[in-house]
Amino acid sequence: MRTDRRTFIQLCAATSGALVLGVDFAEAAEETAKPFEPNAWLRIEPDGRIVMKVGKSEMGQGVRTSLPMILAEELDVAVESIYIEQASPGPSFKGLGTGGSGSIMGQWMRLRPAGAAARAMLVAAAAERWGVSASTLQTSNGAVVDGPTKRRATYAELASDAAKQPVPEKPQLKDRKSYRIVGTSRKRTDGPDIVTGRARYGIDVRVPGMLYAVVARAPQWGSKVESFDATAAKKVSGVRHVLQIPNGVAVVADNTWAAMRGREALRVNWTVSPHASFDSVEHMKALERAIEKPALTIRKDAEGRAAFEKVKKTYEATYSYPFAAHAALEPLNCTVFVGEGKATVWSPTQTPNGVHAAATQVLGLPESAITVNVMLIGGGFGRRLGVDFDREALEIAKLVKGTPVQLVWSREDDMRHGYFQAASVHRLAAGFDDEERLVAWEHRKASTPHNARSVPTKDDKVNPETVRGWAWGVYDMPYFIASAEMSYAVVDAPVPIGPWRAVFSPPSVFARECFIDEIAQETKRDPLKLRLTLLGADDPSVSPIFDVADEHIDRRRLRKVLETVAEKSGWATPVAAGRARGIACNVFHTETYIAYVVEVSLKKAGAMPFRVERVVCALDCGVAVNPLGVAQQVESGVIWSLSNMKSEITVRNGSVQQGFYTDFPVVMIDETPMSIETHIVASDDDRPHGLGEPAVCPFAPAVVNALSRLTGKRIRSLPVKL
């Protein structure tokens, strides 16, 4: 695979001319050529180059590698022959967002027909040229071939004729059995650029004449600028402007460091914050109070909680989960140039169309006058679905019109002004019959829904459909338990809450999967066996498939991954001295089925008082487009989840207390498990499902379950303190 050298970022980097010239040049070049362009995703240039638009943001999940594989498969070309261009929002690209682990599935639906349609048109062009029926022709590696006569025409030769063919509405897609590319392991397209430092992330955008900006933001949420004194800041050498924007005061300078020093010298008076007394310890208590009573029911099976009146025995536990930051290594940033009647934005964004919309609002320009370039992302994890940082950059660039400006958030800015994972408290209850069978289930969750991008209304908070959407991992509990009731209590907080890796799932799955383990312990059953039983392994009357809301869970697939992980990990065999095993599983959005077995041991000291020695993962994600990428996402999810067992975000007096990797420590190489195995379970599901998020959810509970076994003490909150 090659990256198209014409993508205009590289053009700008390579020329010393004006940025706008770069843009115009790229557009002009496209106009004069007459490529075969059957749809927005693909064009074949007259010189035979196949150019594909990548409609997802690359943040390490490998879309610039896996998505071309899908197109190449249907088009029947070598992946290496595809040039890629990052798609920019515009009339052809109105929905470019990247999130929810939906990239591979969403693009599968688009790129396959796109490739297949182009292939059909190329075949039709060859058939016309040779006067034969299209059905007698085949394609092979970028050419149409006529078997009997051995005639052959390359796609390049056929491109201009193909352009005259009608676009088939329902092109014939390849049968799964004939895949040659999908399902093979492929290394990352961007690898060579990454190891040589050529890869350009948002923060690496360099445009001639650009300035650099940092923003002084309110130390407490809800404060506004009352006044500021820029005298000292302006004396810092290199500082050019000190400007008030809606979110604070921007210092614009010749370089990032001067801007940061200017901000240190700046004096800002802030209005009193309405949230100046907010404290996360008090907030946790409010969450605990909120689950004392059931709140809004989001799922009820059979008798619901009323079933607890008839049970022989009830077992209960309360779990809590902290606020957590994204802490991606590339701090938030955005570069904007506002010219006369037009503007260009370079953003490491997960929501290009969101940035486009924000730019039209802030600049008052039509969408057609604004180009948004989607840059490589140095870690996204959901944070870059927000456009708060883009908006700040746009506000600043509007005030320094004619000069490109790059806004950079410092590490501390990035951590303190995050859109966090919400803290939550969970109360779970299990009811048993005379034979100690689990017959009643209750899961109450109290938390704060997303409020950073839009604040939920009063109506939202009492609408079970909306509220259910905030309770992933609670309402889609996969086990069969005769009566069950799940509820969610909204507890508002001034802390900005936004999508975090696996969104609402990790806390809910943590509580649920640890509680299942407690039940196994309480009733002296093997936690694997209990899960299999609850998934209907011994009881044909348990429906293998069930629907909850609009999701469709197949218990057999979850059983299969559990059985696989048990076998591969040697679950039934004794574990080494000083270690214990733990198990947990989950179905993410009814699409990716995943289970872990881990082995842990105790450590004497350190921020993490234990060590994960071995991780075995089994998963069913339907079609694994790039198995290498699948295994990498598992490793990444494991380490993310492990970090979450080590650190938390706390708030005192309305301010986040952490600012660096020292006080919000993430897992380092010497804490990484020595062995992480991934086993992909073959599946009849002929669609590919995501893994960036699913790999996160059941890992922490598997570790906690192992630790509880090792220490004899149940752990019910994160970060882990032994």
Binding track, positions 333-372, relative to another protein; x by CB under 8 A? ----------------------------------------
The interface with another protein within residues 421-460 (CB under 8 A) comprises none
Q: How far is CA 613 from CA 601, 618, 701, 722, in A?
A: 7, 17, 15, 17
Q: Which of 123, 640, 683, 693 binds another protein (CB under 8 A)?
A: 640
Q: Which residue shows structure tokens 């290496």?
A: 80
Residue number, 483 or 636, with CB nearest to another protein: 636
- Is 329 one of the binding residues for another protein (CB under 8 A)? yes
Q: Which of 354, 378, 386, 698 binds another protein (CB under 8 A)?
A: 378
Q: How far is CA 650 from CA 279, 422, 647, 664, in A?
A: 8, 11, 10, 10
- Is 668 one of the binding residues for another protein (CB under 8 A)? yes
For residue 135, give the DSSP letter. Answer: G
Query: Looking at the DSSP assignment, which residues form a beta bridge with residue 505?
Result: none
Query: What is the chain's alpha carbon radius of gyration, rounded to the nearest angstrom?
Result: 27
Please choose which of another protein, ligand FES, none residue 696 contacts, taking the beta carbon within 5 to 8 angstroms, the exact cut-off set by kind: none
Report the 3 state secondary structure along 174-211. CCHHHCCCCCCCCCCCCHHHHHHCCCCEHHHCCCCCCE
- Is 320 one of the binding residues for another protein (CB under 8 A)? no
Q: Which residue shows structure tokens 């069913």?
A: 620
Does residue 322 have a cis peptide bond before it, meaning omega lies within 30 degrees of 0?
Answer: no
- Is 16 one of the binding residues for another protein (CB under 8 A)? no
Residue number, 33 or 329, with CB nearest to ligand FES: 329
Cβ–Cβ under 8 Å, residues 134 and 127: yes
- Is 79 one of the binding residues for another protein (CB under 8 A)? no
Please choose which of ligand FES, another protein, none residue 376 contacts, taking the beta carbon within 5 to 8 angstroms, the exact cut-off set by kind: another protein
Q: How far is the CB of 643 from another protein (least distance, A)?
A: 8
Cβ–Cβ under 8 Å, residues 74 and 173: yes
- Is 238 one of the binding residues for another protein (CB under 8 A)? yes
Q: How far is the CB of 228 from ligand FES (least distance, A)?
A: 28
Residue 360 CB partners (closer than 8 Å, separation 6+) = 366, 367, 370
Binding track, positions 251-290, relative to another protein; x by CB under 8 A? ---xxxxx-x------------------------------
Residue number, 212 or 278, with CB nearest to another protein: 212
Q: How far is the CB of 662 from another protein (least distance, A)?
A: 6
- Is 94 one of the binding residues for another protein (CB under 8 A)? no
Q: Which of 188, 559, 579, 614 binds another protein (CB under 8 A)?
A: 188
For residue 608, give the DSSP letter. Answer: S
Torsion sign across C-alpha atoms 15, 371, 355, 696: negative
Q: Which of 190, 476, 591, 693 binds another protein (CB under 8 A)?
A: 190
- β-strand pairing of 211-217 with 405-408: parallel
Neighbours of 559 (CB within 10 A): 21
Q: DSSP for 3-15?
A: E-TTSHHHHHHH-
- Residues lying near ligand FES in the complex (CB under 6 A): 60, 329, 379
Please choose which of ligand FES, another protein, none residue 52 contacts, taking the beta carbon within 5 to 8 angstroms, the exact cut-off set by kind: none
Which pair of tokens denotes residue 365?
């320009």
- Is 183 one of the binding residues for another protein (CB under 8 A)? no
- Is 330 one of the binding residues for another protein (CB under 8 A)? yes
Please tell me the count of residues contacting another protein according to CB under 8 A: 63
Residue number, 60 or 89, with CB nearest to ligand FES: 60
Which pair of tokens denotes residue 288?
């605990």
Please choose which of ligand FES, another protein, none residue 218 contacts, taking the beta carbon within 5 to 8 angstroms, the exact cut-off set by kind: none
- Is 201 one of the binding residues for another protein (CB under 8 A)? yes
- 232 by Cβ neighbours in 10 Å (0-12 / 13-18 / 19+) ranks as middle
Residues that bind another protein (CB under 8 A): 59-61, 187-188, 190-192, 194-201, 203-204, 206, 212, 237-238, 254-258, 260, 327-331, 376-381, 408, 410-411, 628, 632, 635-640, 643, 660-662, 666-670, 672-674, 676
